[in-house]
Amino acid sequence: MIGLIDCNNFYVSCERVFRPDLNGIPVVVLSNNDGCVISRSNEAKALGVKMGLPYYQLLELPFGKDVKVFSSNYTLYGSLSNRVHSILRRYVATVEDYSIDESFLDFSSIENYHNDLYGLGIEIKKAILKEVGIPVCVGIAPTKALAKAANKYAKKETKEGVYLCKENTQTVLNWTEIGDVWGIGRQYANALQKLNITNAWQFSQLPEKFVLQKMTVVGHRLWKELNGISCIEMELETPDKKNMVVSRSIPRSLTKYEDVENAVFKHIDTLAMKLRRQKQCTSSISVFVHTNRFRKQDKQYYNSFKVPLLKASNNTTTLIRAAKVGLQKIFKPGFNYKKCGVMAFDLCPENVVQGSLFAIAENDKSNTAMHVMDEINKRYGYKVTRIAAHGFLHKAHMLRNHISPCYTTELNDILTIKI
């Protein structure tokens, strides 16, 4: 049996852990640069606040000023997520951290609870709420796809927030709309609805041959999962990435080349640091810039340029030189640039990099300096040290006007309790 633990309204719940006064009032969390709503409390949902609603439109609503707003605080969310995951590993050895707020549990690895998985789900739910303060829902079923459906059913239809879907899966599958099935995208959902397939149960009853022909191997695997045949394995280790992207919208549009260059170099610095952390190198770098498509009064422009490297690298200075070549190719004056970013392609392990006769050898001291910088930043704070080309630009810093304290990771933000 497989269990899915899903934290309810996770970002909002994290904010409420240290602010109990927020319980019972509408709360939302905004995306980077305070752009749009990405997490909502049940009270905000009841008011009609939609996921993805731009912040400025929220303020224009009659009840907009009654909604408590927070900027994204990923340091806090990551810290509380780690605490939830550590609790799960106390109960089950085999855990897949599917996302920051979801985990799959393989209950077949334990023997003592086989006769009462529902009771185990209740116990896990209570432990997380007591020790971390995050409410969760638990769905338990024979497969991962069924556990996903059972979890959503537990959240919407049960008082306890726990549902065991063991043998009779028809109730859950009839309740689950076809567009909400894990792995069914919008295109497949529209195609199936045209065939009057409106829920997961109807999909699971389709002929196997029909599903294989119309939805390829991925759809066939999902069909098997909904019929109780487990074929999506637990991923206990995160697979190596083939590509990586670092980008972010700029709070205020940039027009000067120097400002855009500093913003791009900032992303390169972050990208190189991530590559070194994962012990990977990139074989090519792509730089892109674009204007704000929502400002119809501005001239619009988008472009990107890919720069191949003679030898794969994760050295910040090497990647900055490549990014500079790409940016010089695509930058045009006279535009208000709203977003820029960099992409790394064809990633490979740093210990199996193919050499080149024509590549300029990277100085050993330079590579050592990169790792020393990483250690300093890890110990004393994010980007305490950085490459000078990064600059000290404040125009491209992320807009976070409603950020909460980092209660669990910063000494100065620890709550003080008066007794």
Chain centre distance of CA 217: 26
Amino acid letter for position 374: D
Residue where a domain terminates, one of 53, 75, 97: 75
Please list the residues that pair with 302 across neighbouring strands. Answer: 290
- Residues 67 and 88: their CA atoms lie apart, in Å, by 33
The string of pLDDT tens digits covering residues 271-311 is 998 998 888 999 999 999 999 887 888 889 999 999 998 88
Three state DSSP letters for the chain:
CEEEEEECCHHHHHHHHCCHHHCCCCEEEECHHHCEEEEECHHHHHHCCCCCCEHHHHHHCCCHHHCEEECCCHHHHHHHHHHHHHHHHHHCCCEEEEECCEEEEEHHHCCCCCCCHHHHHHHHHHHHHHHCCCCEEEEEECCHHHHHHHHHHHHHHCCCCEEECCCCCHHHHHHCEHHHCCCCCHHHHHHHHHCCCCEHHHHHCCCHHHHHHHHHHHHHHHHHHHCCCCCCCCCCCCCCCCCEEEEEEEEEEECCHHHHHHHHHHHHHHHHHHHHHCCEEEEEEEEEEEECCCCCCCCCCEEEEEEEEEEEECCHHHHHHHHHHHHHHHCCCCCCEEEEEEEEECCEEHHHCCCCCCCCCCCHHHHHHHHHHHHHHHHHCCCCCCCHHHCCCCCCCCCCCCCCCCCCCCHHHCCCCCC
Residues 210 and 110 occupy one common structural domain = yes
Q: What pLDDT, on a 0 to 100 scale, did the predictor assign at position 114?
A: 60
In a domain, 330, yes or no: yes
Q: Are 277 and 315 a contacting pair, CB within 8 Å?
A: no
Q: Are 371 and 275 a contacting pair, CB within 8 Å?
A: no
Task: List phi, psi (to 5°) of 332.
Answer: -130, 130
Residues 218 and 295 occupy one common structural domain = no
Residue where a domain terminates, one of 227, 259, 290: 227
Residues 132 and 56 occupy one common structural domain = no
Indicate which CATH number applies to the domain containing 112: 3.30.70.270
Q: What pLDDT, on a 0 to 100 scale, did the predictor assign at position 372?
A: 82
In a domain, 408, yes or no: no
Residues 115 and 214 occupy one common structural domain = yes
Domain that residue 274 falls in: 244-390
In a domain, 269, yes or no: yes
- Residues 293 and 94: their CA atoms lie apart, in Å, by 46
In a domain, 418, yes or no: no
In a domain, 253, yes or no: yes
Indicate which CATH number applies to the domain containing 249: 3.30.1490.100
In a domain, 348, yes or no: yes
- Residues 386 and 370: their CA atoms lie apart, in Å, by 9
Task: List phi, psi (to 5°) of 221.
Answer: -65, -40
Residues 277 and 371 occupy one common structural domain = yes
End-to-end CA distance of the chain: 47
Work out whether strand 136-141 and strand 2-7 pair parallel, antiparallel, or are unpaired. Answer: antiparallel
Q: What pLDDT, on a 0 to 100 scale, did the predictor assign at position 229?
A: 87
Residue 257 sits at the vertex; the CA angle it makes with 255 and 263, to the nearest 5 degrees, is: 90
pLDDT, mean of each 10-residue run, the chain (419 residues): 92 93 93 88 91 89 88 92 92 87 86 73 93 93 91 90 85 88 85 87 88 83 88 74 83 86 90 89 92 86 92 88 93 91 89 66 70 78 69 61 87 83
Residues 128 and 18 occupy one common structural domain = no
Residues 44 and 113 occupy one common structural domain = no
Amino acid letter for position 334: G
Q: What pLDDT, on a 0 to 100 scale, did the predictor assign at position 352?
A: 73
Amino acid letter for position 48: G
- Residues 356 and 119: their CA atoms lie apart, in Å, by 60
Residues 30 and 161 occupy one common structural domain = no
Q: What pLDDT, on a 0 to 100 scale, did the predictor assign at position 210?
A: 86
Q: What pLDDT, on a 0 to 100 scale, did the predictor assign at position 393?
A: 53
In a domain, 402, yes or no: no
In a domain, 279, yes or no: yes
Residue where a domain terminates, one of 48, 75, 102: 75
Indicate which CATH number applies to the domain containing 28: 3.40.1170.60
- Residues 75 and 371: their CA atoms lie apart, in Å, by 22
Q: What pLDDT, on a 0 to 100 scale, did the predictor assign at position 397?
A: 62
**How big is the chain by its Cα radius of gyration, in Å?**
24
Sign, CA dihedral 230-231-232-233, equals positive
Based on the structure, what is the number of domains in the chain? 3
Residues 86 and 63 occupy one common structural domain = no
Residues 68 and 88 occupy one common structural domain = no
Residues 67 and 123 occupy one common structural domain = no
Residues 283 and 321 occupy one common structural domain = yes
